[in-house]
Copies of this chain bind each other. A is one copy, B any other.
């Protein structure tokens, strides 16, 4: 595991943390579900537990995706890019990825100069998160 982790360049600095970018794809459809950050600890947890675990730049702590919502992401494949600062995960997504209730966080599309809602809404975010849904905590 360390052979892999040692190649990762945690070069994005936010909230005093050295972070790598994590891109997450549905392993069946290849739809991109979300983009988030990992510090070294979050990556270690992800590889060990096979549950996607990130560093939240708003809460400034590690979080397991799904710890509030139950919408866990099981790791199916892990890749690293040429310069080592971005990771690509294929996952099995429980219910939906986005804290706004959409299957993917990319539910808005640029069309003819405007923003169009194009994503599939799966659940009511207010019911799942209640008042806690003020950040991208999911």
Contact = CB atoms under 8 A, between A and B. Distances in A.
B79 A110 contact: yes
Instruction: Point out which of A34, A79, A86 has the most chain B C-beta atoms below 10 A from its C-beta.
Output: A79
A114 B114 CA distance: 45
B25 A113 contact: no
Interface string A52-92: 00000000000000000000000001111111011010000
B1 A113 contact: yes
Given A3-B115, A4-B113, A114-B3, A34 B106 contact: no
Contacts of A88: 32, 106
Interface of A: 1, 3-4, 7, 11-14, 21, 23, 25, 29-32, 34-35, 47, 77-83, 85-86, 88, 98-100, 102, 105-110, 113-115, 118, 136
A79 B109 contact: yes
A83 B23 CA distance: 15
10 closest A-B pairs by CB: A30-B30, A78-B110, A35-B86, A79-B106, A81-B105, A82-B105, A88-B106, A4-B110, A1-B113, A83-B136
